[in-house]
Chains A and B, each alone.
Chain A
Amino acid sequence: MKSKIIYITAIVLTILYSCYDDKGNYDYIELKTVEISNVYSNWSVPLGEPYEIFPEINYGDANEDDFEYLWIAEMDTISYSKNLSYNFFNTGRFRTVFMVIEKATGARTVLFIDLNVIATFQRGFVILTEKDGNSVIHYIRPKTTTIDENTQLYELEVFEDIYHNNYEDQLGSNPVRLICHYDSEDQILLVQNGGDGTLELSGVNFEKVITTELEFVGNTYPSGFVPLKASYGLYMDVIIGTNGDVYTRKKNSRTFQAVRYPNVAVNDMKAASLYMAPKSNFHLIHDTQNNCFMAVGELRQGTAGRIIKIEMDVEDESNSENFTDLSNLTSDFKLIYSGCYYNPGYNPYFQIVKKNNQYFMQEFNITSNVTEDVLYIVNGTEQLFSEGIILSDDTKYIVNGGQYIYFAEKNNLYYYDRSTSITKVYHQFEANVIITSICHGRDRNEVAVGLDNGEFYVFDVSTRVLASGNSETILRLENLGKVVDVIYKLGSNSNFESYFEAL
């Protein structure tokens, strides 16, 4: 009986199996994929402007109408169009997928790219002018557009009087200088003697952040203090006044205004100048009370704030014989300019100093002793700067790690070749104008020049142009007001350090 049941079951299953209809698709068709070009990573768009990408697609023997498109940024679908035009709401780097999908089969050709959205006013020139008695800020933004894989279009967008136009307010008056400083973003110290006085502007949107007076303990300046200059380090900020008083604040984070300046000045010191080389551990101070150089150290958190003597390294004997003893200056010594070059491990300092009514170029390094209570000048060299050119205390200078030192005296922009010690005129303006400020642009191939007649220029100083013997203007503006200062802001500390290293 049992075997009968098994046989009958087997027969029934066999009969039923013959009824099975295989609906599998064995008519193979070709999946259409495409070739995508003109879609690249590594370019940036300021927040508030559309990110536009125009893909070029080779459809092969297929018809363009047979495809649809999809753009997905960080899991969010941002477009169904072939050409992307999208406004991001935040800054950042967005991992993005571009898909070309064949409608009939769903076959996908996929490309991964990064879309980088930067702060609206991240990089660029900031020009401080005095116009109609007011402090005025103008901003010039570099814009690079990718035309194709090998071509980029570089433009400079101008935002005149950006603070007033954005906030319908005045910045103040009697402007003196701009000083940009960084953490993950940047702030710009506007030193001015009118209006609310010296204050910080946001580097993100140029709005007023805080007056410097409120950055002091007690929310007021110490008696007689008027801000002149400030330098910003990892652990210490230093500010000096027109009266030479020096105030230091020790930071517990890189965050702006996390701490306030004390109302007690560094004793026994009057600063005529203040300079901190990028990525260095010292704020250098020319102390006119004691005719020497001193430093506020910040080698490490624990010792940051120490007031350190600077001495000549006599034992090392690396300094040239004619190098001025910076620990024992004569009363006629005057520091005109401080700068530095980038070099991994240490930064060679560059100074223009005035002695005996002559201008000398100094280059040197600074090393520390083991206990970090003395700094030594080493490898110092000194020579007359740009012999034959009439210089003054108002001559403007910029240095970089390259071959040339640019400087401006009255209406002439010069460049000094460090390898040949030859000075040449790059551009001569009309005789009745004075160059009031110069700075580098996006790299060492750009020099910006501000004039007292309200004009502003960005010059191409690439090797090609220098070799031609003629200046080449990238941008010219006028009617800005008397230019007081020009800086190039970088938007963040990491950008600043990369920029410095590239210079």
Chain B
Amino acid sequence: MKKIIIYIVLLCVVIISCDERQLTTYDGDIFIQFEKEYSDSTSLMFIYFPDQDVIDWPIVLEIIGVASNKDLTYKITVNDNLTTAESNHYSLSNEMILKAGNYRDTFNIKLNKTPDLDNKQVRLFLQIEATSDLHVGKIEKSMQVINFTNSVSRPAWWDSDMTTMYLGTYSDKKYRLFIQVTNEYDLSDKDMSDIRSLALQFGQYLIDNPTLEDDGTRMDVTVLGLKWD
């Protein structure tokens, strides 16, 4: 009996200790970061954009926190120590605006095709700087690396099967021309039908427009299904 009385007393104490409070919304700091992690760098070749001297490359950012009801300023800077690109290779507006109510924003960086990029690749190292409106988010998403060049190199998908069955021996000149003719630069996700069709399209171009490789031999393809002279 004595125990029961003690339990009742304890229960009353617990119930009395309950309190009703209103839920509050988050009104803490807002952080901004890139959508992609730093390790997921971007590589661009101007040959993928055959008719462009300037590439407007979009970069997506996101915030952590609750969207603000006012426009917020964020700042992207170039880390000169880790960047090999020169100032004529790109142009970037330092301060950007995240519109009120938005959780994401995209800004474009202009990459310029300069003659010296024909022979080299440069790196642009971007980072977010804190502003009075926004803090920097996760460290691994606070930086971005863009490598870009106007030179070409043999892509991984141009393997021995591609050489034997479709496009023939690789050369930088052939690859540039292939992209120019077909508007395709990455065949890694293409199926056999698409690849053969593109190879035939390129072969037809080479029949109509005989082209020499740098060593003086005639550029050709290995795909079968066309009449060659």
Contact = CB atoms under 8 A, between A and B. Distances in A.
B176 to A, nearest CB: 20
Nearest to B196: A262
Contacts of B207: 267
A264 B224 contact: no
A306 B224 contact: yes
Given A252-B192, A303-B224, A307-B224, 16 more contacts: A217-B193, A248-B225, A250-B192, A260-B193, A260-B197, A262-B196, A264-B201, A264-B225, A264-B226, A267-B226, A267-B227, A268-B227, A306-B224, A307-B225, A307-B226, A307-B227
Contacts of B226: 264, 266-267, 307
Contact of A264 (B191, B197, B227): B197
B204 interface: yes
Given A266-B225, A266-B227, A306-B224, A259 B200 contact: no
List 9 tightest A-B contacts by C-beta distance, closest first.
A305-B224, A262-B197, A264-B200, A260-B193, A217-B197, A305-B225, A259-B193, A306-B224, A248-B225
A262 B224 contact: no
A269 interface: yes
A250 B227 contact: no
Nearest to B190: A217
Interface residues of A, number: 21
A264 B204 contact: yes
B193 A249 contact: yes
B194 interface: yes
A217 B196 CA distance: 10
16 contacts: A250-B192, A250-B196, A259-B191, A259-B193, A260-B197, A262-B225, A264-B200, A264-B201, A264-B203, A267-B207, A268-B227, A269-B227, A296-B225, A303-B224, A306-B225, A307-B225
A296 B225 CA distance: 8
Interface in B188-229: 191-194, 196-197, 200-201, 203-204, 207, 223-227
A327 B139 CA distance: 73
A259 B194 CA distance: 9
Interface in A250-280: 250, 252, 259-264, 266-269
B209 to A, nearest CB: 13
Contacts of B194: 217
B196 A267 contact: no
A266 B201 CA distance: 10
A45 interface: no
Contact of A250 (B203, B204, B225): B225
A238 to B, nearest CB: 10
A236 to B, nearest CB: 9
A304 interface: yes
A307 B228 CA distance: 9
A399 to B, nearest CB: 30
Most buried by B among A262, A296, A303, A306: A262
Interface string B158-200: 0000000000000000000000000000000001111011001
B225 to A, nearest CB: 5
Contacts of A217: 193-194, 197
Interface string A292-328: 0000100000011111000000000000000000000
A148 to B, nearest CB: 54
Nearest to B205: A264
A262 B197 CA distance: 4
Interface string A221-232: 000000000000
Most buried by A among B191, B194, B223, B227: B227
A263 B225 contact: no
A259 to B, nearest CB: 5
A259 B201 CA distance: 17
A267 B228 CA distance: 9
Nearest to A297: B224
Nearest to A268: B227
Contacts of B193: 217, 249, 259-262
